[in-house]
Structure 1
Amino acid sequence: MLPRLSRRDWVLTMGAGFGSALSSGLACAAPPAPPAKAPRLGSEQEQLLANCRGALATAARIIDGAELVRIGEWCQQQGVTADVYGSGELVESLEKKVAALLGYPAACFMPTGTMAQLILLRLHAEKSRSRAVGLHPSSHHILHEDAAFELLDGLYGVVLSPWMRTILGNDVKQAHQKEPLAVVSVELPVRYTGQLQTWDELESLKAACKEADIPLHVDGARLWECAPAYGRPLAEICRGFASVYVSLYKTIGALGGAIVAGPSPLIANARVWRHRFGGNVFGFFPYAASAAMRIDDTLARIPTWVTRARKLAARLAKDPRFIVTPTPPPTNLFHIYVRGERAALNAKRDQIARERRIWVTHGFGPARVPGYCDAELQLGAQSDAVSDDEAFQSVTALVA
């Protein structure tokens, strides 16, 4: 059997350095610590961020009263009224829109992506005798949900690939031969490496899951950005997946919320579990409105952000002080590795924010190689106010 990795196992693994190979034969070295999250409200860094005119990281905006006014004005202009427990034209039309974009007959609004994915993993596993979930070692389910899929759904994770590689079809085949998998969750793209399967690799992964009768779920927190990489519409990319989750705030820029899409019976059941998980709030409309007012414009601008990110990554890759991965980035997200101490690099980031009013990154974390740190860059709406030269100069100023 493949190792059943609890949250405690992962804490020990990441802390002590897990260099042994898994029984599947896939080496899984200890991952670096995840990049630092955005500072909390009220911190010095949050105030710096609020004063910046642009950012090279998404989800970098401050929600203030002016944002609520914009949402209210849009609702009045569109004649939008509040929903009641998700029932209403605004929420339902947004669900239909996203379902159509992703190529599914049904979709459901969820208050959080964590809840959304817990529900879908649970529903897929209910159809299997297994409780094993095939995952990438950097999966959100493992790193950022406090063991929720174990404690709430009674599932456990099986690592399918090494940290520095995406999940492939052969990974699923090898793992499933040793221990049946109830469901596989794949993140497109992988946040902590910026990697994305090629189209052939993605189709092979779908085929492997179909052959083994394993539902393939997509953690699509950043799925919107994948279309330029594949040169295909989102509905074609999603064809063959059992279910998909997409975020409404990470790139779309909404106040919050998520949407899950899939076959009608699955999504109808997901609505029931939304209630059981305590997520059927009285009104979703502020969140849904903030997504509905942005989604068309954002999706139209993503190709430009991807192009700009590739240009910036290429320029930085020529500087010997930086290691850039992946090169070229398939989406608008990539990572930079630089020599230095985390505290000093974050302090330099703050200095750049004060002097140039450009927020370079949410934070540096220690890389696997001693003496190096890792930072995530992702160009989105907040980068529009920053020219290509300003972006390059602001990043290189980190190591000036």
Structure 2
Amino acid sequence: MTESEERENPAADDATKARERRAAAVRGAERILGAHGLDATIGERLTALTEAAWSVADPGRTGDLYGDGIVADLEERVAGLLGTEAAAYFPTGTMAQQVALRCWAGRTGNPTVALHPMAHPERHERGAFSALSGLRTVHPTTEPRLPDADEVRDFAEPFGALMLELPLRDAGYVLPTWDELVAVTEAARERDAVVHFDGARLWECTTHFGRSLAEIADLADSVYVSFYKTLGGLSGAALAGPRSFIEEAKTWRHRYGGQLFQQFPAVLSALVGLERELPRVPDYVAHARVVAEALREGFAEAGVPWVRVHPEVPHTHEFQVWLPYASKRLDEASVLQAEQTRTSLFRRWWEQGPPGLSVTEVTVSARGLEWTADDVRAAVADFVALIPPETAAQNA
């Protein structure tokens, strides 16, 4: 950004400086509750990938070419984990789901997709379903949870596909019970609709449901999974389902520009994630419940007048924390804590609902396993002490 552009857009400049300060504070922290791949430098990530890659691949092997070789190996691995006939690797989940729902629309003859208004395609993809694929979306419910069987069964108009995001991230990483999930998929099929799982974070769902990945995926006609969410890969996704459906999806993948020349770095990171992170996810989920309770206790001990941990018992290893303060004050406290105490408890905060009510997302992963409940409560006390006094500027 040039000097003239900075003068013309001071808000963007301030946002950039705040992001850089936050990133530096987290990188300098000795203890982090929820570490993220973006915390590392390029050199650190390349070194880590190089060191881990040879545990999942032969270094003497030639690279992939337009989706063969190690890419095909990853597709076979995912299909095996999900119990499907086949899988296709995609550079992004947005593309994978565009293709999946487009293919189902052609097969069912109905371009209408029933999904939650908080689902990723509705919130974060700039209307891509309608703009690119000619799909139309409808919402069986607007409640902050997935639709139930009655809402699907009694919906007032036909739809060709029911798309369920597992877990529903923007509602708090929430999941239905296993019986509710079975019932809602059965209700969709009573209406001659197919079921597609947006399983970007499907890896996190086995503990809550008490079922294997294959048992969960078996409820759907197709499933999308991400390799950078939960597993810590560089990027990439997979679409899994019947073999004929996946072959059709690969055709559309090419048309959408997803048949890349070579993809082995991202694919290697996905294989490493499946090998190293996936077996640890149940531990992350279990410890997230310890952390959630300790956070609630810590805020009560610190005298915060109101706090909400949602869900009260996390369904996955990710959940929300709500506090009655402006987001700017909480962002500042989060950065100050990392800078002054070398402990990073929270990241970004957003204001949702009434002014002065803010929410953050907490992820408990490998480094979070080191935190005891006492550690969490102590960090909360430090965080609350660093919340700046209320001012007009901070609430603006």
So what's the TM-score if we normalise by structure 1? 0.84
The gaps in structure 2 that reach 5 residues or longer are: 1-14, 386-396
Residues 324 and 334, structure 1, Cα contact 8 Å, conserved in 2: yes
CA distance in 2, matches of 1:58, 1:118: 30
User: Mean alpha-carbon deviation: is it higher for 61-70 or for 186-195?
Assistant: 61-70
Residues 252 and 298, structure 1, Cα contact 8 Å, conserved in 2: yes
Structure 2 match to 1:44: 21
Structure 1 match to 2:393: none
Structure 2 match to 1:181: 159
Structure 2 match to 1:212: 191
Structure 2 match to 1:7: none
Residues 57 and 376, structure 1, Cα contact 8 Å, conserved in 2: no
Structure 2 match to 1:360: 345
Q: Does 1:312 align with 2:297?
A: no
Question: C-alpha deviations, 1:23-56, integer Å up to 9, x for none?
Answer: xxxxxxxxxxxxxxx9899722222222234433
Structure 2 match to 1:69: 47
CA distance in 2, matches of 1:214, 1:139: 18
CA distance in 2, matches of 1:223, 1:260: 12
Match of 1:245 among 224, 227, 233: 224
Based on CA coordinates, which of the two structures has the bigger radius of gyration? 2
Match of 1:153 among 133, 145, 149: 133
Q: Which amino acid aligns with 1:83?
A: D
Q: Does 1:164 align with 2:144?
A: yes
Residues 226 and 330, structure 1, Cα contact 8 Å, conserved in 2: yes
Tell me the percent identity: 35
Partner of 1:371, secondary structure, is: coil
Q: 1:390 to 1:342 in 2, by over 3 A?
A: same
User: Mean alpha-carbon deviation: is it higher for 355-364 or for 226-235?
Assistant: 355-364
Question: C-alpha deviations, 1:114-144, integer Å up to 9, x for none?
Answer: 1111110111111233322111121110111
Larger RCO, structure (CA 8 Å, separation 6 or more): 1
* Alpha-carbon distance, 1:362 to partner: 3.3
CA distance in 2, matches of 1:255, 1:283: 14
User: Mean alpha-carbon deviation: is it higher for 182-191 or for 292-301?
Assistant: 292-301
CA distance in 2, matches of 1:235, 1:58: 28
Structure 2 match to 1:99: 79
Match of 1:283 among 243, 254, 262: 262
Q: 1:247 to 1:182 in 2, by over 3 A?
A: same
Q: Which amino acid aligns with 1:329?
A: P
Question: C-alpha deviations, 1:159-208, integer Å up to 9, x for none?
Answer: 12224222211121122xx2111211111111122210001100101111
Q: Which amino acid aligns with 2:288?
A: A
Match of 1:86 among 58, 64, 67: 67
Q: 1:348 to 1:136 in 2, by over 3 A?
A: same
* Alpha-carbon distance, 1:310 to partner: 0.5
Structure 1 match to 2:97: 117
Structure 2 match to 1:139: 119
Structure 1 match to 2:36: 59
Q: 1:52 to 1:69 in 2, by over 3 A?
A: same
RMSD over aligned CA atoms reads 2.2
So what's the TM-score if we normalise by structure 2? 0.85
Matched positions, count: 360
Residues 82 and 217, structure 2, Cα contact 8 Å, conserved in 1: yes
Partner of 1:293, secondary structure, is: helix
Structure 1 match to 2:389: none
* Alpha-carbon distance, 1:298 to partner: 1.0
1:289-328 equivalence runs, <5 A: 289-318=268-297, 319=300, 321-328=306-313
Question: C-alpha deviations, 1:251-296, integer Å up to 9, x for none?
Answer: 1111111111111111111111111111111111000101112312
Question: C-alpha deviations, 1:331-354, integer Å up to 9, x for none?
Answer: 111111101011110011111111
User: Mean alpha-carbon deviation: is it higher for 294-303 or for 265-274?
Assistant: 294-303
CA distance in 2, matches of 1:58, 1:127: 42
CA distance in 2, matches of 1:374, 1:199: 28
Q: 1:187 to 1:174 in 2, by over 3 A?
A: same
Q: Which amino acid aligns with 1:62?
A: A
Q: 1:222 to 1:165 in 2, by over 3 A?
A: same
CA distance in 2, matches of 1:310, 1:142: 29
Residues 253 and 294, structure 1, Cα contact 8 Å, conserved in 2: yes
Q: 1:361 to 1:222 in 2, by over 3 A?
A: farther
* Alpha-carbon distance, 1:111 to partner: 0.5
Q: Does 1:267 align with 2:246?
A: yes
* Alpha-carbon distance, 1:69 to partner: 2.9
The gaps in structure 1 that reach 5 residues or longer are: 1-37
CA distance in 2, matches of 1:259, 1:384: 28
Residues 108 and 261, structure 1, Cα contact 8 Å, conserved in 2: yes
Q: Which amino acid aligns with 2:137?
A: G
Normalized per residue, the structure richer in helix is 2
Residues 325 and 334, structure 1, Cα contact 8 Å, conserved in 2: yes
1:371-390 equivalence runs, <5 A: 371-390=356-375
Residues 170 and 208, structure 1, Cα contact 8 Å, conserved in 2: yes
Q: Which amino acid aligns with 2:353?
A: R
CA distance in 2, matches of 1:305, 1:282: 36
User: Mean alpha-carbon deviation: is it higher for 315-324 or for 285-294?
Assistant: 315-324
Partner of 1:311, secondary structure, is: helix
Structure 2 match to 1:14: none
